[in-house]
Amino acid sequence: MKSVLCKSYGPPENLVLEEVPDLTPGENEAVVEVYAASLNFPDGLQIQGKYQFQPPMPFTPGSEVGGVIKEVGPGFDHYKVGDRVMAIPGIGGLAEQVIVKPESVRRIPDNMDFKTAAGFAMVYTTSYHALKQRANLQPGESLLVLGASGGVGLSAVELGKVMGARVIAAASTDEKLDFVRQYHPDATINYGDGELKEKVKALTNDRGADVIYDPVGGDLFDQSCRCINWNGRLLVIGFTSGRIPEYKANLALLKGSSMVGVFLGRFRKEEPEAYEQNLNELLEMYAAGKLNPIVTQSFPKEEYVKAFNIFTQRQAKGKVTLEFKSE
Ligand X SMILES: NC(=O)c1ccc[n+]([C@@H]2O[C@H](COP(=O)([O-])OP(=O)(O)OC[C@H]3O[C@@H](n4cnc5c(N)ncnc54)[C@H](OP(=O)(O)O)[C@@H]3O)[C@@H](O)[C@H]2O)c1
Kindly tell me which residue out of 153, 208, 232, 293 binds ligand X, with binding defined by CB under 6 A.
Answer: 153
In the complex, minimum distance from the CB of residue 222 to ligand X, in angstroms, rounded to a whole number:
14
Kindly tell me which residue out of 32, 135, 137, 171 binds ligand X, with binding defined by CB under 6 A.
Answer: 171
Q: Does residue 80 belong to the site contacting ligand X (CB under 6 A)?
A: no
Give the sign of the dihedral formed by CA 47, CA 48, CA 52, CA 53.
positive
Q: Rounded to 5 degrees, what are φ and ψ at 276? A: -60, -45
Q: Does residue 93 belong to the site contacting ligand X (CB under 6 A)?
A: no
The H-assigned helical ranges of the chain are 41-46, 114-118, 121-128, 151-162, 174-180, 197-203, 218-224, 249-255, 264-270, 272-287, 304-312
Q: Does residue 47 belong to the site contacting ligand X (CB under 6 A)?
A: no
Kindly tell me which residue out of 67, 93, 147, 185 binds ligand X, with binding defined by CB under 6 A.
Answer: 147
Q: Residue 37 burial (CB < 10 Å; 0-12/13-18/19+)? A: buried
- List CB contacts of 279: < 8 A, sequence separation 6 or more: 106, 121, 125
Region near ligand X per CB under 6 A, out of 87-95, 107-115, 238-246, 248-256: 238-246
Q: Does residue 119 belong to the site contacting ligand X (CB under 6 A)?
A: no
In the complex, minimum distance from the CB of residue 146 to ligand X, in angstroms, rounded to a whole number:
7
Q: Residue 162 burial (CB < 10 Å; 0-12/13-18/19+)? A: middle
Q: Does residue 314 belong to the site contacting ligand X (CB under 6 A)?
A: yes
Residue closer to ligand X, measured from CB, 221 or 324: 221
Q: Does residue 279 belong to the site contacting ligand X (CB under 6 A)?
A: no
Residues in contact with ligand X by CB under 6 A are 40-42, 122, 126, 147, 149-153, 171-172, 176, 215-216, 237-242, 262-264, 311, 314, 316
